[in-house]
Amino acid sequence: MACEGSLADSIDWPVKAVLWVGGPDGLLELIDQRRLPHELVRLRCTDVAQVCQAIGQMAVRGAPAIGVSAAFGLVLAAQSAQGCDLKTGMRMISEAADRLIGTRPTAVNLSWAVRRILRRAETFLASRPQAGMADILDAIFQEARSIWQEDIDACLGIGLRGCHLIEEGMGVLTHCNAGALATAGQGTALSIIYQAHKAGRSFTVYVDETRPLLQGARLTAWELAQAKIRTVVICDNMAGWLMKQGKVQMVLTGADRIAANGDAANKIGTYTLAVLAARHKVPFYIAAPLSTFDPSIASGCEIPIETRPVEEIRQIHGKDLIPAVVELWNPAFDVTEAALITGIITEAGIIRRPNASRIAAFFDRLVSIRPRRP
Ligand code: MRU
């Protein structure tokens, strides 16, 4: 990969998974999550190809984090277009947008952020027809900064809205990584855990390993260890038995895309947990910012599910484990139907027993409180 890396000597908490260094002519710095927990290495991306590679190869991952990274990817595209005439420059930005959107299909935060930047560039040009590419770069940079800051605020809001749900002595089961590493801020599901911990409650977080890429074992366990929260890692196939022992009082995960009816895509294995939670009468919560909702699709059937290279399953630590003649299947996400979800915790409040009408009413109320920007 063409990005530079440097070994960080200290951990700044919460870790900054996505950071822009400098002004409009700056660069994007990402923690290379493939190398955690062994090394904390930052990648420096100076062009959009590097950002696409970092997202596609999951150096940066997690729905909000890839959205924010893609937004800054367009700042880099606008940098490359400096010196071009307006038509050529805008075409370069639009091509970069398509490449970024094509990197990973499931998390809607990515296309949401890219489209928001494109809209900003278009409305800016409509209001300033004489503008040049330097002005466009500035407008795109401001919008990317807003997306980044809003994600930080949303994470905190989710934590504050949801932390009362975690009571003293509870067992909370989570899957994959919906923490600081997956966002620009302190995470979604993990933000709730951090706020409950900050409020002085003690509880245990059970973390699914999350095969095949082990985001739970490598990333969530690492984050929770930094925060000194009692953590027990389990293999994915142990969750049912754990619930049967009465050790889990809440399942709490993130989401990559939530349809208009509340069906939610998240890391493969989440659906299994939701079914198990229903069987054991354990509340199942999703934590997600408003940017994870996709009102354009009626149900989870329409969510595109990313299929990743089968080598992620065949190999462990780079060594083949499964005979080459055997077929493999590697869907990266699954969809949990709304009927299995106790509540969706957002920065604007909790949608309990989500369905199409409750979600529509929730958003209608938000628009009446906070009118959309023109
Ligand atoms: O494939 P990944 O690691 O990007 O999947 C991430 C997840 O499924 C997270 O739970 C989701 O993005 C929510 S992150 C706040």
Is residue 122 located within the same domain as residue 193?
Answer: no
Q: Containing domain of residue 132, as a range? A: 7-156
Whole-angstrom distance, CA of residue 286 vs CA of residue 152: 18
Which of the two residues, 369 and 4, has the higher pLDDT score?
369
In this predicted model, which residue has the larger pLDDT, 6 or 238? 238
Asked whether residue 316 carries a pLDDT value surpassing 90, the answer given is no
Predicted local distance difference test score (pLDDT) of residue 371: 55
Side chain identity at residue 179, one-letter code: G
Which of 129, 156, 183 is at the close of a domain? 156
Sheet holding 18-21, edge to edge: 4-7, 41-45, 27-31, 18-21
Give alpha helix (H) positions in 102-253.
108-127, 133-162, 189-198, 215, 221-226, 239-244
Closest ligand 1 atom to Cα of 332: 1
* DSSP 8-class letter at 187: B
What residues act catalytically? Answer: 256
What's the 54 CA to ligand 1 centre distance in angstroms?
A: 15
Domain boundary among 102, 134, 156: 156
Region 190-214: what's the mean pLDDT? 97
* Average pLDDT of the chain, as a whole number: 94
Q: Is residue 2 part of a domain?
A: no
Residue 9 has pLDDT above 60, yes or no: no
Q: Are residues 11 and 130 both part of a single domain?
A: yes
Per-residue DSSP letters for 155-181?
HHHHHHHHGGGS-TT-EEEE-S--BGG
Where is pLDDT greater, at 12 or 169? 169
| One domain for residues 70 and 174 | no
Q: Ligand 1 pocket test: pick from 108, 266, 334 the residue with the most ligand atoms within 8 Å of its Cβ.
A: 266
CA of 332 to the centre of ligand 1 (A): 9
The confidence score (pLDDT) of residue 1 equals: 39
251/363 same-domain check: yes
Residue 266 CA, closest ligand 1 atom number: 8
Give the CATH number for residue 331. 3.40.50.10470
Q: What separation in Å is there between the alpha carbon of 125 and the centre of ligand 1?
A: 35
Residues with CB under 6 A from ligand 1: 61-64, 107, 176, 178, 182-183, 188, 215, 253-256, 266-267, 332
Shortest-distance Cα residue to atom 13 of ligand 1: 254
Choose the residue to mutate in 69, 173, 177 for probing ligand 1, maximizing ligand atoms within 8 Å of C-beta: 177
Which residue's alpha carbon is nearest to atom 10 within ligand 1? Answer: 254
What is the distance between the alpha carbons of residues 299 and 337, in angstroms, rounded to a whole number? 9
Residue recorded with tokens 């409950």: 196
Is the whole-model pTM more than 0.75? Answer: yes
**Atom number of ligand 1 nearest to Cα 63:** 12
Q: Residue 181 C-alpha to ligand 1 middle, in angstroms? A: 10
Total domains, the chain: 2
Torsion sign (Cα): 291, 171, 332, 279: negative
CB 350 within 8 A of CB 344: yes
* Ligand 1 mean position, distance from CA 305 (Å): 13
Contact assessment for residue 148 and residue 113, using Cβ atoms and an 8 Å cutoff: no
Domain final position from 156, 184, 205: 156
Average pLDDT for residues 252-265, to the nearest whole number?
Answer: 98
Structure tokens at 107: 């998390």
